Amino acid sequence: MISKKVCMIGRFAVGKTSLVDRYVKNHFSEKYQTTVGVAISTKIMDESTKFVIWDIAGFEQDNHYKPYLRGAHAIIFVVDATEPESLHTLSQILADSPELKDLPSVCFINKTDLVDEIIWQDEFTDTITELTDHHFWTSAKTGDNVEDGFVALSHLLS
């Protein structure tokens, strides 16, 4: 069994913790409890791979997250479909740490259950393609595509 360090990256409140909770514990809460520092969860993906998921606190502050990214094997970018600003945050992170681009990654466009509130333009999708080859329209609330996203990432790693 090989462990892989997977980091969740995204602006605060986009649903990083919710996505991990949904995937690992199959659980969702409407209540927002911001993550402090980092929260660790593990998930056995298959007989040879185990994810050690680093759910890092919202990326709105400058650079404090950098040490946590050290040695990461894969990245899950998260944006909020109802909050275009969250995409901007991702761009900033990448500008700061361009090496992240070289890692296997997926992007979760989250909160898709809030259909009425989704604000999305095609150019947003273009920006995401610059970050990663794989993106998923997810909802931590309903669980849509969440598992698919994680599994896809594990395939990228093996």
Ligand X SMILES: Nc1nc2c(ncn2[C@@H]2O[C@H](COP(=O)(O)OP(=O)(O)OP(=O)(O)O)[C@@H](O)[C@H]2O)c(=O)[nH]1
Residues that bind ligand X (CB under 6 A): 10, 12-18, 29-32, 34-35, 57-58, 110-111, 113-114, 139-141
156 is an interface residue for another protein by CB under 8 A? no
Which window, 28-36, 71-79, 101-109, 136-144, contacts Mg ion (CB under 5 A)? 28-36
For tokens 């150019």, what's the residue? Answer: 123
Instruction: Choose among Mg ion, another protein, ligand X, none what residue 139 binds, the Cβ cut-off being 5 to 8 Å by kind.
Output: ligand X
Least separation in angstroms between CB 141 and ligand X: 4
Window 31-70: residues binding another protein (CB under 8 A):
37-38, 40-42, 50, 52, 54, 64, 67-68, 70
Q: Whose Cβ is closer to Mg ion: residue 35's or residue 49's?
A: 35
Q: Whose Cβ is closer to Mg ion: residue 1's or residue 36's?
A: 36
Question: Which long-range contacts link 84-93 to residues 24+ away (Cβ below 8 Å)?
Answer: 84/119, 84/120, 84/121, 84/124, 85/11, 86/10, 86/11, 86/14, 87/124, 87/127, 87/128, 89/10, 89/11, 89/59, 89/60, 90/9, 90/10, 90/11, 90/127, 90/131, 91/127, 93/9, 93/59
